[in-house]
Amino acid sequence: MQLFIDTANVQEIRTAAGWGILDGVTTNPTHIFKSGRPFEEVLQEIFSIVDGPISVETVSLEAAGIVNEGRAVARFHKNAVVKVPVMVEGLKAVKQLAAEGIRTNVTLCFNALQAYLAAKAGATYISPFIHRKEEAGQDGLEMIKEIRGIYDRYGYKTKILAASIRTTREVLECLNAGADVCTMPFNIMESLYHHSMTDAGLKMFLDDWKKVPPVKLFAAAPAGR
C-alpha cells in the first residue's frame, strides 16, 4: 500500500518526503486556501519535492469545464492527477480525460456503487472517504472491502485510494482491507512511527549504554560511513 500525504503545507510535505516513505500527495481547494499562497506557486513547489502522483482538484460542476481544467492540470506537470468529484458530470469528464490518457482521482466516494461507476468511466484512482462515513454511523472499512471485491472480481484496474483518515488504526485497517493507497494528514503519518513500548525500550537501551566503558568503534568511524 502506497502512502500519500493529504495537505498543501509545503513544509509538512518536505518533512514527510525526508522520511523516505512518501509516495505521493493529495490536495484540495481547502488545503490550498489554508496555505495562504498562490495556487500555481504552491503546486510548483510540491511537484519539486515529491516525484510521485500529485492530485489536484477541479472546481467546475459541468463536464466541459472539468475537462478543460483537467487538461490544464495535466499540462502543469507529468505527475499531475486530476481530482474529480463522483457525480454525473464528473464521471462524464473522467471518461473523456481517460480517453486522452489523463490520470484521474475520483473523490468524495461514499459507497461501492459509486466506486464501480468511477471504474467503468476509467478512473485511475477512487477515493472512498473512511472517517467521514464512520462519523455518519456507517462502516467505512466495509466499503473498502466491498470495492476491493468488485474490482478484483471484474478486473477493474482503478486503484483504491483510502481517504479521510483520522487515526493510525484506520491506516492499519485500510492496509489489511486491500487498499492500494492511503492518504492522510501529516500528524497521522508521523504517528505511524510511534509506540509507547518502543519509546520505553529505547530509553532503557540508552540508559544501559551510558554504563558501558567508552567504545572506540563508534568514535573512530569516519563521517558518512
Residue-wise pLDDT tens digits, 31-40: 999 998 999 9
Q: Do the domain assignments include residue 63? A: yes
Q: Do the domain assignments include residue 217? A: no
**What confidence category does residue 212 fall into, taking pLDDT thresholds of 50, 70 and 90?**
confident
- Residue with the three cell numbers 471485491: 149
Q: Are 158 and 119 in contact (CB under 8 A)?
A: yes
d(CA 85, CA 28): 11
- Would residue 145 show up in a list of annotated catalytic residues for this protein? no
Q: Do the domain assignments include residue 218? A: no
d(CA 57, CA 74): 11
Q: Are 128 and 144 in contact (CB under 8 A)?
A: yes
> How many domains would you assign to the chain?
1
* pLDDT higher than threshold 70 for residue 52: yes
Q: Do the domain assignments include residue 212? A: no
Q: Do the domain assignments include residue 203? A: no
Task: Give residue 205's pLDDT.
Answer: 86
* pLDDT higher than threshold 90 for residue 63: yes
d(CA 212, CA 82): 57
Q: Which three cell numbers stand for residue 30?
A: 481547502
Task: Say which CATH number the domain at 133 has.
Answer: 3.20.20.70
The residue from 34, 78, 83, 216 that is catalytic is 83
Cα separation values, 36 from 12, 29, 101, 184, 185, Å? 15, 11, 32, 21, 18
Q: Do the domain assignments include residue 23? A: yes
Q: Do the domain assignments include residue 222? A: no
d(CA 131, CA 183): 12
Amino acid making up residue 111: N
Average pLDDT score over the chain? 94
Task: Give residue 148's pLDDT.
Answer: 98
Longest dimension (CA), the chain: 73
Q: What's the mean pLDDT in 174-178? A: 97
Q: How many CB atoms lie within 10 A of CB 203?
A: 10
Q: Do the domain assignments include residue 216? A: no
Percent of the chain with pLDDT over 70: 97
Q: How many CB atoms lie within 10 A of CB 45?
A: 15
Task: Give residue 220's pLDDT.
Answer: 63
Q: Which domain holds residue 52?
A: 2-197
Contacts of 159 (CB under 8 A, 6+ apart): 124, 125, 126, 180, 181
